[in-house]
Structure 1
Amino acid sequence: MDTIDIKGDTALLDLLSSVPATELAPLVDHLTDAGQGRVTLPAAIKELLLEAKARGIYSPLTLKLLIREIQQFGGNTVVNLVRRSGVSYAEIVQDALKHFEVPGYAEMALERQELAVVAARLARVWPELDKAGRDEYLAELKPGSGRSGDLPDLQSAVLAGGRVSSAIARRLARRAYTPLDVVGTVKKSLFGGALASLPKAAIAAATTSAADAAYRVTIPCVLHVASLRQMRAAAELPDCPQCGVAVAKDARFCGDCGFDLRSQAAGKSDAPPRLQPLVVSHEGADIMIAGADGLPALSATALTSLDISQPRQPIDLGSAGVDRLAPLLQLVPTAMIGGEVAANRYLKVVVNGPLAPAADGNGLRGFVRGPDGRFAEHGRFFEDDRLKHLVSGAAIFQLASFVVAQKHLADISRKLSEIQEGVARIEAFQRNERKAGINGTLTYLQQVAPVVLAGTLSSSVRDELEASERALSAIQDHIHTDMKTAIAEVATLKNPGTFSTNDLTKTLKGRQSDFEELAQQWNLCLAARYVACRLVCSYPGEQMLVERRQQTLDRLTKVLPGPDGLLRQFSATVSARGAQLKALTDTQAEIQANQERLRLWDMDRAPAIESHGHATFGQLGRLLQENAQPVALVLEMRGDEVVRALAA
């Protein structure tokens, strides 16, 4: 249960929730001293903030703890040593204004107070900068803004708000805030009179600890929050094109430099951008040859032109056997070409299985379908020496298989490399032979994939593919057992420490890393099995085996994800164990921070594992499905010859 009190700073919570996670990293660095830790920052909260920064995920509870720590530091500023607890963000900003001796802050809105802090901090920094340093700040001003380019101009731009003030505040927030910056304030504090006679260096040494715990944190945090607020405001309001200051949406002139905004609007047009015309393929009538099941086994459609906007994989004519289609395609009536005027014509050809003879056995049965979808003509294609080899189911299968293989070769090679890299990234397998088994199979698949997809289908390779499936299936069973064992062990973990929840949290986080490793092994092993199954597709007569094997693999893809998957079971078990965290010395905030550290894995790694599996298996599953679909080609004909073939 969330019990973090942020003293009504819901507006600050809303701001931090609305910006990208990368924009919150500087606040974490200020609070944790760039990961080194601070004496007053509890270890559990420090680790949570650092993990949130590393993962780029800030939950509402994490943001509340971040705000609470800023408030805690604000309650210990040198001016306010009498306070013993955190204060609201508004009080922190007001403390910063007192520190910089900015008058009239009480009448300002919080946003204006932040900008006043930025302008005051800039005035303190300016004398310390050399010319190059000043030029970096001045570069934030747009050329032609009408400003002379000095400190007063920069401060005016800051107080105007918008993009320029956000950039300058961000630049200032990155500067270290040294103890010497608080000397003037210390002299006016409750005990400053006792130190006033000391040398400046001695005063700095005496106040270093206080400064570390207060202004070193709060001033940079205020500067960065001001930057975030102005960044969000600038995103919602247009900038003046002349000086970069945010202007109201309906303003006619820039309030800062006087630029005529109407001239900018005049150059704009609401008309949509012109699109380059695309060559669209117009499909006319189809000529088809029936298959054994009565459906078109091969069809050809005349195209008036080739749609060059679509990327297409070129197919090797001789190796694929595409040139065998030329005699058949010569029979496409000239009228179907749509009045060709060029030497070349384009045909879309679909191969869907072995060709079938006519009912009386005399020739091949064919028919023509018009653009309206109706069958216009029926006819026959009589076999001669040029057409006989097309009647063979094996010949058509070889053509279809080769065309699809050429499309898939790059995908499969890339996927095998990804799997191999994934195995290499896993530092320690629970069993060395498991790693060796997956690696050995992957190495073999990488060797034979190009050969098989090129159409060389040896029986020895086919046998080895089956052996690979048996080996990977056994490894998959072992991983499944290990994952179920890991879930059972988490439920019974004992707390190794009585006085702190940090030890049990560390142990549970270690189990999360172990389970993630097992999940990665599971996905990599299953992906390798998909690739092996795809290679089996290239062999004639294996369709039924491939279909059943794919059903098995598809079922295994559901073992990890989903509401009843092992991934959710593991997360639920860790969450239940984390809910029992308790210790004698930990505060409620520290306990909740440790619980949130465990939930970070659920928010970051668990979805990543699940989504990576979906993407990988979806892609590999599509390769298997495409292999069972009709093969579409776009052929370029020159006279009686096929001169080019592209995968459609």
Structure 2
Amino acid sequence: MNDIRLQVVPSIELQDEHGRALVEFHQADETHSSLVSQTSELDASSVSQFNHLLGLVPCSAASVSGNSSQLMTCTFEYSKLVQAKDGSGAIGAVYKEGSEKFGAQARFHEAKDLKSVVTTGLVLNIASQVLAQKHLADINERLKSIEQQVKSIQEHLERSRFAKIEVFQEHLQRLGALISQGEPVLADSLQVLAQRAQEVRAEVNHIRRDLEDAHTKVRAFDSSSWFGSDNLREALQGKIWRINHLQREYLLGMQCLVMANLILFIKHGGNKEFLIAGDTYLAELSSEDGLMNQWNATKRRVSWHLSKMKPVFELAKSTQANAVLVEAKLSKVQQQLDEDVKQVRELQQRLVLAQNPRLLLVLEGGRVKRGQFLQ
């Protein structure tokens, strides 16, 4: 085809066999430049993948905006066809070599095979690579954070729990290293990850039940005393600290699960099963009997206990000093809880944003020269 005469097509959509959009290309304008992330340059491998994809999109499909009934294949190269005198294109004939006499008639066939040239697998493979690059830095950063959390609370974890969470975290680290090096991740490794995620999920459910028991003990606490509040303060702080450790175990497990979901989402080409699972985890945090509501109820109960903590044979200022120490413990636990919950929510948000990555591609001469992720 004479590509000089092709009209500019503002958008192209590649669909799977069910008519669902796999990838869309749109002509960019100046408004897109403001959305470019400064630290999100597309790597050379991804640029090459996009050139491969665009090379398989027939230019004829662009000229007729996907009207497949007009797509044809010709038995001769375009340059050998007789050109129309008005310059509007070529006619279906070929000159005899060295003369101006017609030697053959070109045959045209409906280009039925063009639909299957760009395969779903190819697009998903590119999507997987692009997703991996976009979230690579975040994956490595989060994995380091999880590793630090494991180290900070491992002495308080039950041995069986710690072993499972530690093994799971190590497996996440190995997969993160493979992704960072651009190495393929075996299907068996992903299967192991999914299996271990189920094991950790069971542990998280167990921790949740332990948390409920710990909260019950705070509610049942007896804040009455005759001769001083030191023992009450120590007992109440111990119960609060127990809740803190269980909350951190619970949220560490949640972070590992959401991280596993992000990796599985990327490596399985954006399967929404993992997005749904992550949404379930977040809903569990905020449910009526979830971690956040239980903790808020316990804080109110502790405040009530402190208001009733009035030993007969103790100065009021001593009782108040012990109450301040308990409140300080509550504040510290609240701070750690906020940080851990924020990590889980941010990880899930990464998963949500990973559904539809947007890129700005710069093409020169029909080939992608560079690309950047859009915020």
Q: What TM-score do you get using the length of structure 2 for normalisation? A: 0.73
Where does 1:142-153 land on structure 2 (aligned, <5 Å)? none
> Equivalences for 1:46-61 in 2 at 5 Å?
none
Structure 1 partner of 2:338: 611
Q: Which runs of 5+ in 2 are unaligned?
A: 1-7, 73-109
> Mapping of 1:205-220 within 5 angstroms?
none
Contact kept in structure 2, 1:633 and 1:646, CA below 8 Å = yes
Q: 1:305 to 1:514 in 2, by over 3 A?
A: closer
Q: Secondary structure of 2:40's match?
A: coil
Please state how far the C-alpha of 1:410 moved relative to its aligned partner: 0.9
CA deviations over 1:590-617 (Å, ceiling 9, x no partner)? 3233223322334x22432342234212
Partner of 1:633: 359
Structure with higher RCO (Cα < 8 A, 6+ apart): 2
Identity %: 18
The Cα shift of 1:514 comes to: 1.9
Please, which of 1, 6, 11 is the counterpart of residue 287 of structure 1? 11
1:295 & 1:465 partners in 2: Cα distance? 29
- How far apart, CA to CA, are the structure 1 residues paired with 2:325 and 2:13? 65
Does the 8 Å contact 1:495/1:503 carry over to 2?
Answer: no
In the TM superposition, residue 406 of structure 1 has moved relative to its aligned partner by 0.3
How far is 1:646 from its partner?
2.2
What's 1:443 paired with? 170
Give the deviation of 1:561 after TM superposition: 9.8
Find out whether 1:647 has 2:336 as its counterpart. no
Secondary structure of the structure 1 residue equivalent to 2:10? strand
Superposition deviation, residue 626 in structure 1: 2.0
Query: Whole-Å Cα distance in 2 between the matches of residues 406 and 390 of structure 1?
Result: 26
Q: Distance in 2 between matches of 1:586 and 1:383?
A: 94
* Cα distance change, pair 537–329 in 1 and its aligned pair in 2 (3 A): same
Give yes or no for the alignment of 1:531 onto 2:259. yes
In structure 1, how many angstroms separate the alpha carbons of the residues matched to 2:352 and 2:135?
Answer: 12
CA contact (8 A) 1:291 1:297 kept: yes
Distance in 2 separating the partners of 1:482 and 1:610: 17
User: Is the CA contact 2:361–2:371 (under 8 Å) kept in the aligned structure 1?
Assistant: yes
1:538 partner amino acid: I
Stretches of structure 1 that go unaligned for 5 or more consecutive residues are: 1-283, 333-355, 364-381
From the CA coordinates, give the structure whose radius of gyration is larger. 1
TM-superposed CA distance for 1:628, in Å, is 1.6
Is the CA contact 1:324–1:390 (under 8 Å) kept in the aligned structure 2? no
Instruction: Tell me the SS of whatever aligns to 1:288.
Output: strand
Question: Which of 455, 464, 468 is the equivalent residue of 2:196?
Answer: 468
Opposite residue 589 of structure 1, the aligned amino acid is: K
More helix by share: 2
Distance 1:597 1:383 in 2: 79
- Select 2:51's aligned residue among 319, 323, 329: 323
Q: Using the alignment, how far apart are the partners of 2:158 and 2:132 within structure 1?
A: 35
The answer for the alignment partner of 2:307 in structure 1 is 579
Tell me, what secondary structure is at the counterpart of 1:557?
helix
Residues 491 and 290 (structure 1 numbering): CA distance in 2 closer, same or farther, change over 3 Å?
Answer: closer
- Residue-by-residue CA offset, 1:161-190 (whole Å, 9 max, x unaligned): xxxxxxxxxxxxxxxxxxxxxxxxxxxxxx
Are 1:551 and 2:276 matched, yes or no? no
1:432 aligns to 2:159 (yes or no) = yes
Deviations 1:99-124 (A, max 9, x none): xxxxxxxxxxxxxxxxxxxxxxxxxx
Partner of 1:508: 236
Please give the root-mean-square deviation of Cα atoms over the aligned residues, in Å. 3.7
1:597 aligned residue (325, 334, 340): 325
Where 1:298 maps in the other structure, the secondary structure is strand
Aligned CA distance change for structure 1 residues 423 and 483 (closer, same or farther; 3 Å):
same
Cα distance in structure 2, aligned partners of 1:615 and 1:544 = 22
Aligned partner of residue 313 in structure 1, secondary structure? strand
SS of 1:565's equivalent in the other structure is helix
2:41 to 314, 320, 329: 314
1:447 positional shift: 0.1
Amino acid paired to 1:633 = L
Distance 1:457 1:560, change over 3 A: farther
Structure 1's 411 and 564: CA in aligned 2 closer, same or farther, altered over 3 A?
Answer: closer
> For residues 585 and 576 of structure 1, do their structure 2 counterparts lie closer, same or farther at Cα, with a shift above 3 Å needed?
same
The residue aligned with 2:131 is 404
Count of matched residue pairs:
323
1:367-382 alignment, distance < 5 Å: none
| 1:554-573 correspondence runs (5 A) | 554-558=282-286, 565-573=293-301
C-alpha separation in 2, matches of 1:389 and 1:457: 27
* Letter aligned with residue 310 of structure 2: K
Cα distance in structure 2, aligned partners of 1:398 and 1:560: 41
Report the alpha carbon displacement of residue 578 of structure 1 after superposing the two structures with TM: 2.4
Contact preservation (8 Å) 2:127, 2:269: no
Match of 2:206 among 478, 490, 500: 478
CA positional deviation for 1:437:
1.5
* Counterpart Cα distance in 1 of 2:298 and 2:157: 18
Cα distance in 1 between the residues matched to 2:156 and 2:220: 23
Q: Which runs of 4+ in 1 moved over 6 A?
A: 382-385, 560-564
SS at match of 2:358: strand
2-side partners of 1:286 and 1:357: how far apart? 13
CA gap 1:493/1:430 in 2 versus in 1, 3 angstroms: farther
d(CA) in 1 for partners of 2:26 and 2:67?
19
Which amino acid counterpart does residue 618 of structure 1 have in structure 2? R
Q: In structure 1, what is the Cα distance between the partners aligned to 2:146 and 2:346? A: 13
Whole-Å separation in 2 of the counterparts to 1:397 and 1:600: 51
1:530 Cα shift? 0.2
Q: What letter matches 1:624 in structure 2? A: L
Question: Secondary structure of the residue that 2:286 maps to in structure 1?
Answer: coil
Provide the residue aligned with 1:215 in structure 2.
Answer: none
**For the Cα contact (< 8 Å) 1:313–1:647, is it kept in 2?**
yes
Cα contact 2:285–2:291 (8 A) shared by 1:
no
| Aligned equivalents of 2:225, 2:31: Cα separation in 1 | 76
Q: Comparing both structures, which one devotes a greater share of its residues to strand?
A: 2
Change (3 A) 1:632 1:434: same
